[in-house]
């Protein structure tokens, strides 16, 4: 057992994992750019109040899962690691006066999020999201556009059988009456409620609906549904989102039990799942409309909508489905080896020149016999070995084509050009 290990619920992304994430991030970046989104970075930590106010004090994410940073005496601010990026982005929207930019402001970000949750397969304490936000458009057309974008991402990276679940969770006009009805309903089943849920009943009854406690499953299934109690404006919005989705050819299913775990949502809510994935109740991504969030954080009332892609879970599902996700690793074009094991200076100098010319080159620095150096170059998948020998004094080297088994003398002055030409003709031939 090693002395130190990555903290529970976190993991190291080794180069093969990182390559998959790179591929997912690149695909998402280029896809969202086609829809007019641009990148933004906000800090990995914020004033805790940004999350408490934005996400809601009585949510799992804030109440149980927030990584709070102990304040240092000289800076008495309470900070927390971000459990999600939307609140921080809305904070930045307000802080930088983005309401004066052309609306909607379309932003993406990608990086780690932190939630002190119970670790299990596909649920980590540090996980990665690719996040998409459109702030300043009340919809409903953009709701459908952003759901279509999410669905297209999974198709482009090759996840099979992704299902879109949508719902509407109302707004301040229709939700209060629904909340009152829901409180009545659960009060009628008080004895069956686990202590945390009983405690939340009066403070934030909506959160009972997304409780992970198995004791709640039956009660929640029979609870009154917001979808049946939407006001006229919310119902019309929801109908229009659905007809736009149909027109765009996005397959979706209405799930009136979908309420999402964060308080900032209004109206449209959605999640992406792999249909029939045995035993997994885990969304590959999810989001919704948050028309009250910007105002909660001190801005002018501004509508918004967005979603987060769970990169860890997408990578897991791709591996399970057996698809190849990351492009194969390219070996070096050339490895510089030499007859004199001690002459690392010459090998390094030649490799440095090749790299300066833009080529993938490695020098063998291990001070071993030429035969061993050549063997290692072959294992590396190198196309050429550049061999430094007796001709070095005349400014020449031997270039061995490790695939064809041929060898010839090349002037060092021409080496980069020759190798680049050989690589190009190899790729196109
Ligand atoms: P969320 O549903 O909490 O929404 O997270 C989005 C996605 O992140 C989930 O669907 C899941 O794939 C992934 N995820 C969440 N928690 C974990 C975890 N502990 N381990 C691994 N993956 C996880 C949000 O975060 C909202 N900010 C989405 C949004 C953006 N809404 C509007 N704009």
Ligand 1 binding pocket includes 186 (Cβ within 6 Å): no
Atom of ligand 1 nearest to the CA of 83: 25
CA dist 262 and 53 (Å) reads 11
Q: Is pLDDT above 90 for 79?
A: yes
Q: Return the DSSP state at 79.
A: E
CA distances to 50, 215, 259, 304 from 295, in Å = 12, 36, 21, 11
Q: What is the pLDDT of residue 145?
A: 98
Ligand 1 binding pocket includes 306 (Cβ within 6 Å): yes
What's the predicted TM-score (pTM) here?
A: 0.92
Q: What is the pLDDT of residue 280?
A: 54
Residues ≥6 apart with Cβ < 8 Å to 331: 360, 380, 381, 382, 383
Q: What is the pLDDT of residue 71?
A: 74
Using most ligand atoms within 8 A of CB, pick from 287, 288, 316 the residue to mutate for ligand 1: 287
- Other C-beta atoms within 10 Å of 288: how many? 28
Ligand 1 binding pocket includes 287 (Cβ within 6 Å): yes
The whole-number average pLDDT for the span 22-40 is 97
Ligand 1 geometric centre to CA of 285 (Å): 6
Q: What is the pLDDT of residue 59?
A: 87
Atom of ligand 1 nearest to the CA of 129: 8
426 — pLDDT class (breaks 50, 70, 90): confident
8 — pLDDT class (breaks 50, 70, 90): very high
Kind plus residue range of the DSSP H or E element containing 409: strand 406-411
- Other C-beta atoms within 10 Å of 52: how many? 18
Using most ligand atoms within 8 A of CB, pick from 9, 310, 318 the residue to mutate for ligand 1: 310
Q: Is pLDDT above 80 for 177?
A: yes
Q: What is the pLDDT of residue 324?
A: 64
Backbone angles phi, psi at 311, to 5 degrees: -65, -35
Nearest CA to ligand 1 atom 16: 123
Q: Which of 66-80, 154-168, 311-325 has the lowest mean pLDDT?
A: 66-80
Smallest Cα–Cα separation from 275: which of 260, 257, 253? Answer: 253
Nearest CA to ligand 1 atom 30: 307
Ligand 1 geometric centre to CA of 308 (Å): 5
Q: What is the pLDDT of residue 277?
A: 67
Average model confidence (pLDDT) across the chain? 93
Using most ligand atoms within 8 A of CB, pick from 119, 313, 315 the residue to mutate for ligand 1: 313
State pLDDT tens for residues 251-293. Answer: 999 998 888 889 999 999 999 999 876 555 689 999 999 999 9
Ligand 1 binding pocket includes 207 (Cβ within 6 Å): no
Of 114 and 213, the one with more pLDDT:
114
Angle at CA 305, nearest 5°, toward 226 and 89?
125
The whole-number average pLDDT for the span 78-89 is 97
The whole-number average pLDDT for the span 380-393 is 95
Ligand 1 binding pocket includes 286 (Cβ within 6 Å): yes
């Amino acid at each position: 057992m090693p002395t130190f290990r990555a903290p529970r619920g976190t993991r190291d992304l080794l180069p093969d994992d990182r390559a998959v994430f790179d591929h997912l991030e690149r695909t998402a970046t280029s896809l969202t750019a086609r829809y007019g989104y641009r990148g933004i970075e906000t800090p990995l930590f914020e004033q805790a109040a940004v999350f408490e106010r934005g996400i809601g004090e009585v949510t799992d994410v804030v109440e149980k899962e927030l990584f709070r940073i102990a304040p240092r005496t000289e800076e008495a601010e309470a900070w927390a690691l971000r459990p999600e990026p939307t609140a921080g982005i809305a904070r930045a929207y307000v802080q930088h006066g983005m309401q004066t930019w052309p609306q909607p402001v379309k932003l993406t970000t990608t990086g780690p999020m932190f939630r002190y949750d119970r670790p299990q397969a596909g649920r980590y304490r540090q996980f990665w999201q690719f996040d998409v936000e459109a702030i300043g458009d009340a919809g409903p057309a953009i709701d459908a556009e952003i759901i279509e974008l999410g669905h297209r991402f999974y198709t482009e990276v090759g996840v099979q059988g992704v299902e879109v679940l949508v719902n509407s969770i109302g707004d301040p006009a229709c939700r209060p009456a629904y909340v009152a009805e829901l409180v009545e309903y659960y009060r009628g089943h008080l004895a069956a409620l686990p202590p945390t849920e009983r405690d939340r009943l009066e403070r934030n009854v909506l959160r009972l609906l997304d409780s992970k406690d198995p004791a709640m499953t039956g009660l929640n299934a029979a609870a009154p549904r917001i979808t049946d109690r939407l006001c006229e404006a919310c119902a019309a919005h929801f109908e229009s989102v659905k007809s736009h989705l149909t027109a765009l050819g996005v397959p979706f299913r209405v799930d009136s039990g979908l309420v999402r775990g964060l308080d900032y949502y209004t109206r449209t809510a959605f999640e992406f799942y792999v249909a029939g994935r045995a035993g997994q109740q885990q969304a590959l991504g999810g989001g919704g409309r948050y028309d009250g969030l910007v105002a909660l954080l001190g801005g002018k009332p501004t509508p918004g909508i967005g979603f987060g892609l769970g990169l860890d879970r997408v990578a897991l599902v791709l591996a399970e489905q057996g698809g190849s996700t990351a492009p194969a690793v390219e070996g070096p074009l050339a490895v510089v080896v030499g007859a004199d094991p001690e002459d690392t200076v010459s090998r390094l100098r030649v490799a440095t020149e090749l790299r300066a010319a833009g080529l993938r080159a490695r020098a063998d620095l291990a001070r071993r016999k030429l035969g061993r150096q050549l063997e290692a170059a072959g294992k590396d998948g190198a196309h050429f070995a550049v061999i430094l020998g007796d001709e070095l004094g005349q400014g020449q080297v031997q270039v061995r084509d490790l695939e064809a088994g041929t060898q010839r003398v090349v002037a060092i002055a021409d080496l980069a050009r020759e190798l680049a030409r050989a690589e190009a003709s190899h790729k196109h031939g």
